[in-house]
Amino acid sequence: MRWRFMLSPPSDGALNMAVDEALMERAARTGEAVFRVYAWASPTLSLGRNQRAKGAYDLDAARTLGIDIIRRPTGGRALLHHREVTYCVTLPTESPDEAATSYSFINEVLLTALRRLGVRAERAGAAGVALPPGLRPCFDVPSQDEIVVGGRKLVGSAQWRRGGALLQHGSILVRDDQGLVAALLKDAAEADTPRAASLGDALGRDPDLGEVAVLLRESLVAETGATPTDLDGAEVAQDAARLRATYVDDAWTWRR
């Protein structure tokens, strides 16, 4: 499989999701896989594809705090994108069985990069649980095989498979801002958020996007044995502009 690597500048949430989906379409069309690393232009709460959200969040509080809200194409629970490194992997798939294999492979790329950075990261054991969509935040409890440090979740990931391609993207926390999710929930009973792990806590410093991107690229080379070529954002800009309309539409964001 031919791999490409893409480092994107910070963008708004709708465009970030549109680019991820555009890369997924591209994987199905070209047979190429892409590893993308990016950031967010402003703090953004992303809702899982099937998560109940209508009427659950205080939109005035979100505006006051300067937090945008979008809904992802992937499943899972809500998380706040702010001080983090976000990754996205898209690749062609032939069967549902490849989803689990791809998840394990991507996690290995992430773990290799994190360990090279100096983080003692590992996979969560069998005690981890698979949580259904709900208002509890993504970083509440690690599921089995998710990446943790000291038992606390460091990376939150989600997958979507459609039309012969797979998209997996996720958040690697630089600092734990997930407690801000509580300020947006109307139901205080859902608001207690355990501390998540973060690169800042693990390293005693905050690595920047470029430093982590270099290590992720090196890790991808180590795991695949192939050197990826760069992918310019211009190659997916037209598709991303078309798909962005979905992610700015309230009918999608608040569909349930």
Catalytic one of 138, 154, 184, 197:
138
What pLDDT is recorded for position 239? 98
Tell me the whole-structure pTM to 2 decimals. 0.94
Q: Which of 94, 87, 108 is nearest to 23 (CA)?
A: 87
What pLDDT is recorded for position 128? 46
What pLDDT is recorded for position 23? 98
Q: Domain range holding 74?
A: 3-253
Cα 158 to Cα 204: distance, rounded to the nearest angstrom: 28
What pLDDT is recorded for position 2? 95
pLDDT digits (tens, 9 = 90+) for 151-164: 999 999 999 999 99
pLDDT digits (tens, 9 = 90+) for 189-227: 555 667 899 999 999 999 999 999 999 999 999 999 999
Cα 151 to Cα 133: distance, rounded to the nearest angstrom: 22
Question: Which residues in the chain land under pLDDT 70?
Answer: 126-137, 188-193
- SS3 of residue 210 by DSSP: helix
What pLDDT is recorded for position 71? 98
Radius of gyration, alpha carbons of the chain: 17
Kind plus residue range of the DSSP H or E element containing 37:
strand 33-38
CATH number at residue 28: 3.30.930.10
What pLDDT is recorded for position 111? 98
Query: What is the domain count for the chain?
Result: 1
88 catalytic residue (yes or no): no
